[in-house]
Amino acid sequence: MKRYLFILRKPAHSGAYLQEMLDIMLITAAFDQSVSILWLDDAVFQLKNHQQPEISGMKDTAAMLQSLSLYDVTELYIETESLQQRGLNTDNLCLPVQTLPRQQIGEFMRGFDVVFAG
Amino acid sequence: MKFAIQINSSPYHNHAWLTAYQFIRAALREQHEIMRVFFYHEGVYHAFKYATPPDDEINFVQRWSELAREYHLDLVVCISAAQRRGLLHSDEAQRQGKQDNDVADGFRIAGLGQLVEAISLADRFIVFG
């Protein structure tokens, strides 16, 4: 088993990006690998509460992200500064994530076998 | 060393694929092993058989097909990403009531499990694009 860290950096509805990243993350978890996820930059908007994408006929990706827990993917991290710079805090998010300050991200990434740049 | 490679961008969005291609050639020349090259997201556009660039431009499809032939390289296109973008091999096309077989020589279409398997067997995994 390898320890995977998936790093997400784009907002939801960047084409099929998030659906396709979610597919990889879930398949990796289904192969009994250890999966952690880190949200950086505009990717933090993926987790924003109260999205209504169905108005524009788009997939509710925030609801799809809820399926991570069904695959025992519970190691969820978000960069503190990325949230702050966008006027958000963890109360605005639809998943229970742990915050990590930017200064600690490099050290954090060293703890994984595979860093998957998404 | 064993490498697993993923390519995520399309041939005309940027030249990440050319960097990947040159990396793969250099690695093989140095006797390293390329476990698999996996085409995902917009990377599936590398595998369209009928891409026909002008004669004075790099023919990326031909480059990949030749590389695959020369080194018996496993070029895998993700099936769900491919179907979203209209790339169907004959079996899938038939199942969908279509007549296409658009997959270029040297590529095969398979699931994401092939990516996870390659990463788990490789010493290094590198994403381009």
Tell whether A89 is within 8 A of chain B (Cβ).
Answer: no
What pTM does this model have? 0.92
- B59 CA: distance to closest CA in chain A (Å): 26
Let me know: does A65 contact A94? Beta carbons within 8 Å.
Answer: yes
- A70 CA: distance to closest CA in chain B (Å): 19
Backbone angles phi, psi at A74, to 5 degrees: -125, 0
The answer regarding whether domain B2-128 maps to CATH 3.20.20.140 reads no
CB contact under 8 Å between B116 and A20, yes or no, is no
- B55 CA: distance to closest CA in chain A (Å): 31
List, for residues A31-48, the tens digit of each pLDDT value.
999 999 999 999 999 999
**ipTM of the shown complex:** 0.86
Residue type, A42: D
Residue type, A80: T
Q: Which two tokens stand for residue A18?
A: 């998030």
Burial track B86-120 (b if 16+ CB lie within 10 A, e otherwise): ebbbeebbeeeeeebebbbebbebbebebbbbbbb
Strand ranges across the sheet with A34-39: A98-100, A75-79, A34-39, A3-8, A114-117
CB contact under 8 Å between B112 and A17, yes or no, is no
Per-residue pLDDT of chain B (129 residues; tens, 9 = 90+): 999 999 999 999 999 999 999 999 999 999 999 999 999 999 999 999 999 999 999 999 999 999 999 999 999 999 999 999 999 988 888 888 888 889 999 999 999 999 999 999 999 999 999
For A62, the domain range is 3-117
In this prediction, residues A108-117 reach a mean pLDDT of 95
Beta strands (DSSP E) in chain B are: 2-7, 33-39, 75-78, 107-110, 124-128
pLDDT value of position B115? 97
CB contact under 8 Å between A23 and B116, yes or no, is no
CATH of the domain at A39: 3.40.1260.10
pLDDT value of position B93? 85
Ranges of each domain in chain B: 2-128
- The count of structural domains within chain A is 1
Q: Which residues of A touch B81 (CB under 8 A)?
A: 16, 20
* B63/B55 Cα distance (integer angstroms): 13
Decide if B78 is catalytic.
Answer: yes
